[in-house]
A and B are shown apart, each in its own frame.
Chain A
Amino acid sequence: MTPEEREAAIARARAAREAREAGQPSAPAAERPARPERPAREAAAPRGPQPPPEGSIFDTFKRVLPDVEWVEAVQGVRDVILTIKREDVPRVMRAAKEHPDLALDFLRSLHGVDQQPEGFDVVYLLYSYRHHHGVEIKTRVPLDDPHVASVTPIWRGADWHERETRDMFGIIFDGHPNLKPLLLPEDLIDVHPLRKDYPLAEIEIVQGEGASQEEGGEEIE
């Protein structure tokens, strides 16, 4: 470097330092190296629940039951998840089993999910051996009036599932032939262990983040 170039370099460095300390960019815009070109980002994939795709079992349901209000219809991770009102349960379930295009003759599981304070979800997992399609149907039952129609007349296998759900959550299935306790002792009718306000143990030690019960170590009678 020649002495003049050295002088110029020192002056530039001093100006850059002063500009940085003042919060300004350290070199005028023309002298900054050009930012490398980045490819334009594609539109981000939509997040959140997606409606069921064309040709799925939801279309068959809409065709078979055109006047039912579908509270929600979502493509879940594996199955289509449909939410209906609890008044529609007998009608939808009967059509699901008896209509030849749906033929959902296998009730895989019937259980509850605690969604307090809005109530409980009753989940019906159905499958058809004839058409090899399945669906998950949910209905919301309010907390102060936890009644829903029983589907035991439609699928006999619902008998024990509904008894267990009543034991665990307190959901009453109207029309069930024998709603006695199944898993709990016969005299424990008003205890519902799977509700979230029922403690896990006498002294709950809740671990990890996102605790679903009260924060740890509290002694509960």
Chain B
Amino acid sequence: MTTAPTGEYADQEFETIDLNINMGPQHPSTHGVFRMVLTVDGELVKDVEPHIGYMHRGNEKLPENCDFRQIIGYVDRTDYLAQFNCEHAYVQAVEKLMNIQAPERAEWIRLILAELNRLTSHYMFMGAFGTDIGVFATPFTYAFREREVIQDLFEEISGDRLMYSYFRVGGLGWDVPENFKERVRQVVQHTWQGIKDIDGLLSKNEVFLARTRGIGMITQEQAINWGCTGPVLRATGLPIDIRKEEPYSFYDQVEFDVPVGEYGDVYDRYYVRLEEMRQSVRIIEQALEKMPDKGPILPERLPRLLRAPAGEVYGRVEAPRGEYGIYIYSKGGPKPWRFKVRAPCFSNLSALREMTIGHYVADAVIILGSIDIVLCAVDR
């Protein structure tokens, strides 16, 4: 294999070979324990082979020995940045299977918390993505400062900073504090400024644009074929969002837009997430108006031992990373027979090879960051 030299060596021929570089499981830029074997020609990536499974914990086998109420703890820990969305998928699946209807106030609170969690997840993305680009500390610090404000609220409600386990089959574990609406309004007020800060810092930055425009492009057909969902799919231009396609909870009673990108590149994925944060705030403001002030948060008569009828169900939500689904196959009884988590990051990551070939090694890091993976969801 020869590459064309320039300058004083222009009349010589060099033979080069492709190099296999291991971006190993321990690496600051791989967003967790993820291994990529890059085959490079100089700095140009010819092939990518992702190796996953370093975080495989048997998250699908363990719930087979658990009561339906106990599985909430496992579901949290699959996507640890969008926990309320994951819990929402799980309780939705079980409630559909057992034909339980959560009361109205509980559903509104679930919706508000899921949208707030979308905000924290996207803040985390802004911070980590800025780090991948090389801006290192500034967006990271800004984003995490904003995220802490929302996490303080979550700690007041559920008692935990990260693994909330707050939703229950049928409703919520306990009622929110009395000042819930004022606190959420405060947080939302603060977040508008936070989103503006991140926007001003990154969106029109010359270096940011140069490093992200035209990188990691994927076409619409490719994205659907690979099973990509979420911002990766919306960046290609398709306005597909489960909250609009198959509305669950009260999403059909709030108005919001679905932001789309244009080229399907890394910049579009970043911009779609930024716009989604604005839409989330819009949804939260409307939900606060419509939420009843008082009401039960669990149905009146919930059996002490939840026994599901025989059957199967697939509960799906729009998590910040895409379509998060829980498939439960039950043979009757208090435990599921098969518990399957459909993680968005798993399918999005499988398209990595498609996006990375033909770019430079530095771009490979950015493309991986733009897919926004959470290894716990990929490996389960």
B67 at the interface (CB under 8 A from A): yes
**How far apart are the CA atoms of A213 and B337 in the complex, in Å?**
11
* B-side contacts of A129, CB under 8 Å: 224, 238, 240, 245
A200's partner among B62, B325, B332 (CB-CB below 8 A) is B62
Known: A105-B224, A111-B327. A160 touches B346 (CB 8 A): yes
* A-side contacts of B226, CB under 8 Å: 156-157
User: Chain A: interface secondary structure?
Assistant: loop
* B-side contacts of A157, CB under 8 Å: 225-228, 347, 350-351
* B-side contacts of A193, CB under 8 Å: 58, 61
A41 at the interface (CB under 8 A from B): no
Specify the chain B residue showing the minimal Cβ separation from A97.
B225
* A-side contacts of B379, CB under 8 Å: 183
Known: A184-B53, A208-B335. A77 touches B65 (CB 8 A): no
B335's partner among A125, A132, A210 (CB-CB below 8 A) is A210
In the complex the two chains form, is A210's CB within 8 Å of B332's CB?
yes
Cβ of B379 to closest chain A Cβ, rounded Å: 6
Q: List residues 104-155 of chain A with CB under 8 A from any CB of chain B.
A: 105-109, 111, 113-114, 123, 125, 129, 132, 136, 155
A76's partner among B52, B312, B325, B333 (CB-CB below 8 A) is B312
In the complex the two chains form, is B56's CB within 8 Å of A183's CB?
yes
In the complex the two chains form, is A200's CB within 8 Å of B61's CB?
yes
In the complex the two chains form, is A182's CB within 8 Å of B238's CB?
no
* B-side contacts of A159, CB under 8 Å: 350
Cβ of B183 to closest chain A Cβ, rounded Å: 35
Q: List residues 159-217 of chain A with CB under 8 A from any CB of chain B.
A: 159-161, 168, 181-185, 193-194, 200, 206-210, 212-213
In the complex the two chains form, is B334's CB within 8 Å of A125's CB?
no
In the complex the two chains form, is A79's CB within 8 Å of B314's CB?
yes
Known: A106-B227, A129-B224, A194-B60. A113 touches B325 (CB 8 A): no
* B-side contacts of A114, CB under 8 Å: 337-338
B359 at the interface (CB under 8 A from A): no
**How far apart are the CA atoms of A129 and B61 in the complex, in Å?**
31
Cβ of A56 to closest chain B Cβ, rounded Å: 15
Specify the chain A residue showing the minimal Cβ separation from B238.
A129
User: Chain B: interface secondary structure?
Assistant: mixed
* A-side contacts of B329, CB under 8 Å: 113
B342 at the interface (CB under 8 A from A): yes
Known: A160-B347, A183-B53. A125 touches B338 (CB 8 A): no
Specify the chain A residue showing the minimal Cβ separation from B329.
A113
Cβ of B176 to closest chain A Cβ, rounded Å: 29
Q: List residues 274-299 of chain B with CB under 8 A from any CB of chain A.
A: none
In the complex the two chains form, is B342's CB within 8 Å of A108's CB?
yes
A96 at the interface (CB under 8 A from B): no
**How far apart are the CA atoms of A129 and B227 in the complex, in Å?**
12
B311 at the interface (CB under 8 A from A): yes
B96 at the interface (CB under 8 A from A): yes
In the complex the two chains form, is B335's CB within 8 Å of A109's CB?
no
Specify the chain A residue showing the minimal Cβ separation from B347.
A157
* A-side contacts of B96, CB under 8 Å: 77-78
* B-side contacts of A132, CB under 8 Å: 245
Known: A159-B350, A210-B334. A109 touches B327 (CB 8 A): yes
**How far apart are the CA atoms of A49 and B380 in the complex, in Å?**
32
**How far apart are the CA atoms of A78 and B99 in the complex, in Å?**
11
**How far apart are the CA atoms of A136 and B313 in the complex, in Å?**
10
Q: Contact string, A77-92, partner B, CB cutoff 8 A, digits 1/0?
A: 1110100000000000
* A-side contacts of B347, CB under 8 Å: 157, 160-161
B334's partner among A108, A181, A209 (CB-CB below 8 A) is A209
Cβ of A45 to closest chain B Cβ, rounded Å: 12
In the complex the two chains form, is B61's CB within 8 Å of A111's CB?
no
Specify the chain A residue showing the minimal Cβ separation from B55.
A183
Q: Contact string, B311-341, partner A, CB cutoff 8 A, digits 1/0?
A: 1111010000001010101001111011010
In the complex the two chains form, is A185's CB within 8 Å of B53's CB?
yes
B18 at the interface (CB under 8 A from A): no
Residues in B lying within 8 Å of A, measured CB to CB: 52-53, 56, 58, 60-62, 64-67, 96-97, 222, 224-228, 238, 240, 245, 311-314, 316, 323, 325, 327, 329, 332-335, 337-338, 340, 342, 346-347, 349-351, 379-380
Known: A156-B227, A183-B380. 14 other contacts (CB 8 A): A49-B311, A105-B225, A108-B314, A108-B342, A111-B338, A125-B325, A129-B224, A155-B225, A157-B228, A157-B347, A193-B58, A200-B65, A212-B65, A213-B65
A-B contact pairs, 21 of them (CB 8 A): A49-B311, A77-B96, A78-B313, A105-B224, A106-B227, A108-B316, A109-B342, A113-B338, A123-B327, A125-B314, A125-B342, A129-B224, A155-B225, A156-B226, A183-B52, A183-B53, A183-B380, A184-B53, A184-B56, A194-B61, A210-B335
